[in-house]
Amino acid sequence: MKKIIISKLFLYRYRFVIGYIILGLAFTILLITLPLYAQNGLSEAEMSSATSSYYLGKNGILNGDLVDLPYRLLQKFSVVMFGLSTYSIKLPSVIVGLLLGFLLILLLNRWFKSNVSLLASCLIVLSTPFLFLAGSGTPLIMVVFWPTLLLWLGSKIQGEKRPRPLYCFMFAIAMLFSIFTPYMIYFAIFCIIFVLAQPHLRFIVKGLPKLPLALVGIMILAGFTILGISVFNHPETIMELLFSKGFHMGQFFGNIAAGLAPVFSWHHSLENVFLAPLISLPTFALALIGLFSTTKGFFASRNSIASILTVFCLIITGFNSQAVVFFILPFSILIAHGLKYLLEKWYGLFPENPYARISALLPLTILFGLMIVPGLLQYIYGYRYNPNIANEFSDKLSVIQENLTDGYLLVKEDFDFYKILEAKSDITVIDEIGEMDEVAVLGKLEAKSEQYTLSRIITSPMRDNSDIIYLYTHTEKVEGE
């Protein structure tokens, strides 16, 4: 009987390729359908983002309206192309989320062995905070996207004896666009200081060809020149890029406490757009193991960067509590370190016993199942049915689109947002009532209510404020009938 050699089996030889393909397909399908089954409605931040993006014009850009410019241009294109809807508002984050997920997978695969990077990628891209970012129609996802892109490009430059000029050029372009996202100026400065302080990276930079270095220098200089001109003409721009609108230093430690609250709240949910806990207890424990495992070789560039990024995360969280989502990046690196440590310890116990190694598959499968599946279920059902979270989102837009096809819609709050409906529908949005036969009111009609008779109330399944639209008919028309 012919002896079976496991290493020559097709499934064994291509196990990581098959694993990445399955992960990529599941991740892509999940993100594309994400806005359909989670976050039942839009938050105030999403409505504000869609409004500012839609009304972004050439004059605004020339006048210094540069904050979150790349994301807002993408969101403007989405809303103009597909009309105002929950999906079109969230679509830019879905697209950026897909890119971010694949960048995280590529980055971890660049720094760790395939078995470690595959498992760590599953934990990160299928986690609650990552899915929240990819399903939220705000520029917040860019705070994670730009550093991840820059780190991956930096790893492509660092890992080659003769780096391709294309990667250097892409790094410069990414650095240029990133500085228009809040707090990324700090990250650009952090990258420069880290390269100068890290001996290995300093040696690599000195050995780079002159052309890539010149390209990077010119692009970065051009970006800061554009930013400098904008700041000179509009000083408020730099405040939004460095801090956040309305920030003062007395809020710093309070913002850190508010930002970390959903990270460590494992037993209850908070009145916040973040579903607590943001990270499960087993995943957090795995990241702690990774943190301790890096202390031995802390000054290696790959080891120290996760700890330094964690400190960077705390700093920007002090400026804006929602910036705590940046921890996705250092946590993904620490989780990979934790997995690497655990697998090495297990294999070290049985260096010559293949059966003992294979026996680790069962507990690993159970462990990862208990970490991933509950997280997905928590995200899908938590944002819909957790009262502290669900009330942070409004389904008014979807109720309007499901029940109104034409006619007048009277809006008192968020008028500019709902006015966008006119571009792709027959609805006319007004802020004052006139002499019209019928009118739909987003809320109750107060002025001239004696001239109109309530004919219908349209509600939503939300717990509070479920009466969304009041349909009124002019009294004379009712009497004439």
Coil vs helix vs strand at 93: helix
For strands 406-410 and 438-442, give the pairing. parallel
Using a 10 angstrom Cβ sphere, with 0-12 exposed, 13-18 middle and 19 or more buried, the burial of residue 16 is middle
Q: Which residues of the chain have pLDDT under 50?
A: 1
Burial code (b: 16+ CB inside 10 Å, e: under 16) for 414-427 equals bebbbbbbeeebeb
CB 317 within 8 A of CB 260: yes
Residue 429, SS3 per DSSP: strand
Residue 174: count of CB within 10 angstroms of its CB: 18
**What is this structure's pTM?**
0.86
CB 452 within 8 A of CB 474: yes
Residue 264 and residue 307 in contact, taking contact as beta carbons nearer than 8 Å: no
- Candidates 170, 190, 188, 182; CA nearest to 139 is 182
Say what the pLDDT of residue 431 is: 80
Pair 262, 280: CB distance under 8 Å:
no
- Cα 325 vs. chain centroid, distance in angstroms? 8
Note the residue count of the chain. 481
pLDDT in tens, 186-243: 888 877 777 777 666 677 667 666 766 676 777 777 777 777 777 777 777 777 888 7
The answer to whether 89 and 78 are in contact (CB under 8 A) is: yes
Tokens standing for residue 56 = 């972004």
Sign of CA dihedral 369, 371, 376, 382: positive
Candidates 331, 302, 338; CA nearest to 155 is 302
Beta bridge partners of 456: 471
CA distance 87 to 79: 9
Peptide bond into 277 cis (omega under 30): yes
Handedness of CA 161, 167, 172, 174 (dihedral sign): negative
Classify 245 as helix, strand or coil.
coil
Task: Tell me the C-alpha distance between 95 and 91, whole Å.
Answer: 6
For the record, the structure tokens of 407 come out as 């006619």
Rg (CA), the chain: 26
Q: Which of 307, 299, 372, 370 is nearest to 337 (CA)?
A: 307
Helix (H, G, I), strand (E, B) or coil at 248: coil
- Residue found by looking up tokens 């839009």 in the block: 42
Please report the pLDDT score of residue 1 as a whole number.
Answer: 43
For residues 212 and 166, what is the distance between their CA atoms, to the nearest angstrom? 8
How many Å apart are CA 340 and CA 192, to the nearest integer?
29
For residue 379, the surrounding DSSP H or E stretch is: helix 361-385
Residues 391 and 464 sit within 8 Å (Cβ to Cβ): yes
Distance CA 481, CA 314 (A): 66
Q: Where are the alpha helices (DSSP H) in 7-136?
A: 10-13, 15-32, 34-37, 44-54, 58-62, 69-82, 86-111, 114-125, 128-134
